[in-house]
Amino acid sequence: MQPRSCLQDDHRALVENGLGQLRLPCCKRQIDQFLHYLEMLIQWNEVYNLTAVKTPHEIVKVHVFDSLSLISHLEGDRFIDVGSGAGLPGIPLAIMSPEKDFTLLDSNGKKTRFLFQVRTKLHLDNVQEINKRVEHYSPEKPFDMIITRAFSELSTMLESCGHLASKKTIFVAMKGKAPKKEMRSIPEGYDILSLTKLSVPGLDRDRHIIKIKAQDL
């Protein structure tokens, strides 16, 4: 699978450089998958407005590298990306972790149609896209991690996604500045495990992840 010629060599160099800064070893097939995903996102974005970020360089930095900064924090084998949108962070994580399973959940039909096309074109056998609201989705078994990016407040995330979890499930929220007020307002029965500042290549803004887990009874 090769990306189309409209993607310039500097895009490949940008992706390879960012992966190097993130210390993520990557084979040629994975690089090609990232470039093909970038191409599809740019093309679909012209019609469906999947993201407000338009240029390839900004998409790579703001979305792809930001998503990949989470990869060293993954625990387990089954993950759900709630409110996946254009597949962020789920698609980049699935490309880099073919041995793990990712469910991409979104209520917007045009976005899940895009995710279907990405999954098919990139041959991502470890991905499934679900077109449902989170409160209407009932998985066969709980997930190891529930991931949200650019989602609502922490308390809303926990209330909306609690039925997807077991007592061992870790909730992961990707945020900009550390949401200390939100962290103080999480529902009873949950503990903050960690607040970690992320380093994203080429991105000069605050990025954090918060890990949350249900309290042991």
Retrieve residue 214's tokens: 């249900």
Provide the token pair at 164: 């997807």
Q: Are the C-beta atoms of residues 215 and 171 closer than 8 Å to each other? A: no
What pLDDT does residue 217 have? 61
Phi and psi angles of residue 105, each rounded to the nearest 5 degrees, phi first: -110, 130
Report yes or no: 169 and 158 within 8 Å, Cβ to Cβ: no
**pLDDT per position as a tens digit, 159-213:** 999 999 999 999 999 999 999 999 999 999 999 999 999 999 988 889 999 999 9
Length of the chain: 217
CATH of 9-214, one of 3.30.70.980, 3.90.220.20, 3.10.150.10, 3.40.50.150: 3.40.50.150
What pLDDT, on the 0 to 100 scale, is given for residue 76?
97
Q: Is the pLDDT score of 6 beyond 80?
A: no
**What's the whole-model pTM score?**
0.93
Closest listed residue to residue 90, CA positions, set 124, 49, 43, 56: 124
DSSP state string for 14-81: HHHHHHHHTT----HHHHHHHHHHHHHHHHHHHHH---S--SHHHHIIIIIIHHHTTGGG--SSEEEE
pLDDT digits (tens, 9 = 90+) for 137-146: 999 999 999 9
pLDDT at 3 over 60: no
Strands 170-175 and 145-149: parallel
pLDDT 10s digits, 31-73: 999 999 999 999 998 888 888 887 888 889 899 999 999 999 9
- CA-nearest of 211, 129, 133, 106 to 168 is 211
pLDDT tens, residue by residue, 83-130? 999 999 999 999 999 999 999 999 999 999 999 999 999 999 999 999
- What does the block give as tokens for 181? 């007020």
One-letter amino acid for residue 208 of the chain: H
Domain ranges of the chain: 9-214
113 contacts 85 by C-beta, under 8 angstroms: no
Q: Omega into 201 within 30° of 0, i.e. cis?
A: no
